[in-house]
Every structure is written in C-alpha cells, then in structure tokens.
C-alpha cells in the first residue's frame, strides 16, 4: 500500500480445502471440508488488515491427498485469469501435498512479479488451539507487503508456523507439530515474530520478466526410490514401463547406487530411448554429486542427470512441467539441469552459460 493513502491492496484468496477448513462430522467423527464463508467467520482479524480480500473456492473443497495435476492447472488458471486484477494471491491448501502443489505452481507461473502464498493448518480453524488463524492472517500480511512500492515477495512460497519458505524448496517433514514444513537446502525467506523480518537477498526478483502461465503437466513421470535388496525386475519394470517419459531416481547420499549390470542396462536403455532420468538424494540435506564415489559414477556414464540439491517434490513437478510444455530435446535437457526458479544450487563447474 502506498504511504499516505487509504487504498487497500487487492488480494485473491483461493480456497482448495484442507485441514484449515475441516469440521468434525457428527456421525462419522471424521473431519470433512466446509465452506470458505464458514472458514472466514472464525478469523475476525482479517477485517483489520489493509487488504481488500476477494474469495474464490474450488467447487468441492478437497483433502489435499486428492489434489493432483488437474487441480494444479485449476489453481494456475485462476491466478492467470485474475493476475491483472489483484496485487497478490493466498492459497488455502491441505498440508499433505502442499509442497508438491507449491512446487508445481512455482514452475507453471513464470516471470511472477506478485506474491503467491500457500498456507493451511495442522488443526481445523474451528478448534480452539488451531494454528490456522495466525497462518492465514500472516500469509495475507506477507501477500500485501511492499518495499519501495513493489511486492516484497514476488514468488510462490509457503507460510507456515512463522516461517516463509520458497515453494520449490519446501517439504513437509512433521505431521505431529505445528512446524510442518522445512526448507532443508535453502534458508527461509522471512520469519514472523513481533514484526516480519524479510531476507530480501534470498527472495526471487522477476520484476523485469514478463508473466506467463504454462498450460500443461506431463503425467507419465515416476519416482523410483532405491533400497537395499531392490530387484532387477522391479527397476526394469519401472524405467521401461510403456509410456514412462521421466524418472526421478532417489539415490543414496550423494548419488550412490546399488545397481547390478542388468539394472544399469535397463536404465541405459531407457535413457537412450528418450526417457529423462534425474538423480536426487534420499537425504533431506545435501546434494547429489555424480562421480564423487565410484558407486555413483555409473549414473553419470549412462546419461542420468544430476538434480544437485533439489527436493523430490520439486524434481517431480519440474519434470512434469518441462516435459508437458517443451519438446525440443536440447531445450528440455537444459531446463531440467538448470536452476530455473531457484529450485536447486548448481555447482560453479556445471553452470550453463
């Protein structure tokens, strides 16, 4: 908001469902979603914010376990269609798949110069001890925040339990406590206390970019997690499955693998047939370094790409978006290994210039 005026910042609140809007069913005892109007009734603090809040809701609010590719595109379309009419967007979403959705939107919404903030809660807003109130109010405060008359956080982010995380760097790591999310390989963008402290040097700045929304998501992408004793037949069935176009290979540590010659051949054949394979680490903290150990050098030799310190959620959604919107092989390869929207740290010797 500009200093010296009473003009309110226009925020679009997008309600998808999730725990924040759940109410306990009288007969089943299970939590069920209820209307956005009912949700907002529990947060009278919203009226004191310097925000003009409009609301749009999914026709049927959903548990986030059921949110997938179609819903990502629905959220993308809502933002695209309303982009010029609002200063920022806040998305109410269940926690279980929020990191996937935030990552997907981070790649689908290119050249953002407005905030898109995901939030939710671990307890329904109707519960006395719910974390929903502060999460929602602060998410909106972040969405309206400005510096030098420009949005403070022009990127897709998750606000939860007093922390603001980059969407494509986030993962859910706690189902029991209010600090449900973390960003293992990237520092938080802001911390909310008595005031909100922003880490401006860490926030993406695309102010000179032209906003565009990509239109497709490729569903033929799978995650293959390695484990001791994994069979050749299992690996072969995954990577050579009819129609698979991309594989996120969750390797050990810095990218080491326990592959037999038969499994290596299956991976090599898949790569030669055009299947894109990205190696990521099963560890939350750290980075894949193909070739650092002999047990990872084989991946480099057969053309598996390094995801560096990207999360599995970001790697999966990035590949879905890239393969869904680009067909040129060299462009696809370049996008998959590049730091597209701040999702990974590229070692200096691997930066494409």
pLDDT per residue over 58-105, tens digit each? 998 888 999 999 999 999 999 999 999 999 999 999 999 999 999 999
- CB atoms < 10 A from the CB of 201, how many? 7
pLDDT at 31: 61
Instruction: Quote the mean pLDDT of the chain.
Output: 90
The per-type count for the chain, helices as H runs and strands as E runs, is 9, 20
Whole-angstrom distance, CA of residue 351 vs CA of residue 338 = 8
Angle between helices 312-325 and 98-108 (to 10 degrees): 40
> How do 156-160 and 116-119 pair as beta strands?
parallel
Residues of the chain with CATH 3.40.50.1170: 9-213
Buried b (16+ CB within 10 A) or exposed e, 314-340: bbbbbbbbbbbbbeeeeebbebbbbeb
Q: Name the stretches of the chain with pLDDT < 70.
A: 1-6, 23-35, 38-39, 206-208, 348-353
- Told to judge if 5 belongs to the known catalytic residues of this protein, a careful annotator would answer no
Q: In 211-313, where do the E strands start and end?
A: 212-213, 221-225, 246-251, 276-281, 305-306
Q: Tokens in use for 328?
A: 């040129």
Return the SS3 of 257: coil
Fold held by 9-213? Rossmann fold (3.40.50)
Residues in CB range of 140: below 8 A, 6 or more apart: 11, 13, 46, 49, 51, 53, 90, 117
pTM here?
A: 0.92
Say which of 19, 138, 171, 256 is annotated catalytic: 19
DSSP class of residue 282 equals S
Query: 121 with 222: CB under 8 angstroms?
Result: no
State whether the Cα torsion 344-95-119-220 is positive or negative. positive
Phi, psi of 243 (to 5 degrees): 100, -15
In 3D space, the residue among 51, 81, 333 whose CA is nearest the CA of residue 211 turns out to be 81
Return the SS3 of 268: helix
DSSP class of residue 97 equals T
The DSSP-derived string for 99-154 is HHHHHHHHHHEET--S-EEEE--SS-TTSTT-SHHHHHHHHHHHHH-EETTEES--
pLDDT at 27: 56
Report the run of H or E that residue 172 belongs to, with start and end: strand 171-172
State pLDDT tens for residues 308-318.
999 999 999 99
pLDDT at 3: 40
Whole-angstrom distance, CA of residue 294 vs CA of residue 277 = 19
pLDDT at 137: 92
Q: Which CATH number fits domain 221-348: 3.30.980.20, 3.90.1480.20, 3.40.50.40, 1.10.540.10?
A: 3.40.50.40
pLDDT at 127: 79
Whole-angstrom distance, CA of residue 313 vs CA of residue 194 = 32
Whole-angstrom distance, CA of residue 349 vs CA of residue 333 = 17
Residues of the chain with CATH 3.40.50.40: 221-348
CA distances from 236 to 113, 260, 318, 323 (A): 43, 11, 23, 22
């Amino acid at each position: 908001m500009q200093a010296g005026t009473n003009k309110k910042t226009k925020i679009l609140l997008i309600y998808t469902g999730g725990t924040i809007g759940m109410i306990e069913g009288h007969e089943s005892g299970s939590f069920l979603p209820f209307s956005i109007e009912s949700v907002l009734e529990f947060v009278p603090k919203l009226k004191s914010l310097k925000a003009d809040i409009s609301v749009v809701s999914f026709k049927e609010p959903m548990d986030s376990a059921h949110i997938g590719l179609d819903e990502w595109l629905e959220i993308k379309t809502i933002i695209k269609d309303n982009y010029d009419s609002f200063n920022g967007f806040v998305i109410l979403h269940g926690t279980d798949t929020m990191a996937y959705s935030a990552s997907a939107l981070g790649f689908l919404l290119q050249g953002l110069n407005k905030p898109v903030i995901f939030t939710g809660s671990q307890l329904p807003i109707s519960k006395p001890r719910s974390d929903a109130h502060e999460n929602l109010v602060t998410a909106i405060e972040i969405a309206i925040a400005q510096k030098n008359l420009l949005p403070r956080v022009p990127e897709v982010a998750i606000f939860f339990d007093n922390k603001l995380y980059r969407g494509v760097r986030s993962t859910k790591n706690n189902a029991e406590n209010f600090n449900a999310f973390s960003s293992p390989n990237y520092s938080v963008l802001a911390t909310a206390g008595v005031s909100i402290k922003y880490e401006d040097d860490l926030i993406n700045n695309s102010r000179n970019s032209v906003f565009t929304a990509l239109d497709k998501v490729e569903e033929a992408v799978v995650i293959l997690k390695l484990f001791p004793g994994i069979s050749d037949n299992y690996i072969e069935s995954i990577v050579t499955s009819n129609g698979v176009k991309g594989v996120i290979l969750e390797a050990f540590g810095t990218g080491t693998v326990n592959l037999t010659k038969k499994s290596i051949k299956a991976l090599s054949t898949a790569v030669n047939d055009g299947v894109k394979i990205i190696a990521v680490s099963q560890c939350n903290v750290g980075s894949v370094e193909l070739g650092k150990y002999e047990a990872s050098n084989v991946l480099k030799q057969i053309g598996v790409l390094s995801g560096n310190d990207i999360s599995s959620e970001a790697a999966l959604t990035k590949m879905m978006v890239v393969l869904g919107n680009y067909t040129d092989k060299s462009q696809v390869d370049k996008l998959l290994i590049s730091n597209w929207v701040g999702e990974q740290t590229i070692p200096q010797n691997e930066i494409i210039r």
